[in-house]
Structure 1
Amino acid sequence: MSKRSDLWFNMVQMVATIEADLSKALQASHGVGLSEYRALQVLARSPDSELRMQELASYLKLNQSSVSRMAERLERQGLAIRDLCPDDKRGVYTVLTQKGRELVDRAVADYEAALDEALKAQGRDDLIPA
Structure 2
Amino acid sequence: MSKRSDSWLRLTHVVASIEADLSKTLQRKHGLGLSDYRALHRLSLSPDLELRMQELAAHLGLNQSSVSRMVERLERSGFTVRDLCPNDKRGVYTVLTDKGRTCLESAQPDYEAALAASLKDHGCEDLLSAAFIKAE
**Is the TM value for this pair above 0.5?**
yes
Instruction: State the secondary structure of the residue aligned to 1:126.
Output: helix
In structure 2, the residue matched to 1:49 is 49
| Partner Cα distance (1:59, 1:26) in 2 | 20
In 2, the alpha carbon distance for the partners of 1:44 and 1:124 equals 27
Alpha-carbon separation, structure 2, partners of 1:113 and 1:122: 14
Q: How does 1:1-130 map to 2 (within 5 A)?
A: 1-128=1-128
User: Which 4+ stretches in 1 moved above 4 angstroms?
Assistant: none
Structure with higher helix content: 2
Pairwise CA distance, 1:127 = 3.7
Q: 1:81-127: CA deviations, max 9, x gaps?
A: 11111111111000000000001111111001000111122122334
1:67 alignment partner AA:
V
Give the TM-score of the pair, scaled to structure 1: 0.95
- Identity across aligned pairs (percent)? 66
* Number of equivalent positions: 129
- Give the SS at the match of 2:125: coil
CA RMSD of aligned residues (A): 1.0
Instruction: Measure, in 2, the Cα distance between the counterparts of 1:34 and 1:126.
Output: 24
Unmatched tracts of structure 1, length 5 or more:
none
State the secondary structure of the residue aligned to 1:43.
helix
Q: Give me the TM-score of the superposition, normalised by structure 2.
A: 0.91
Shift of 1:128: 4.3
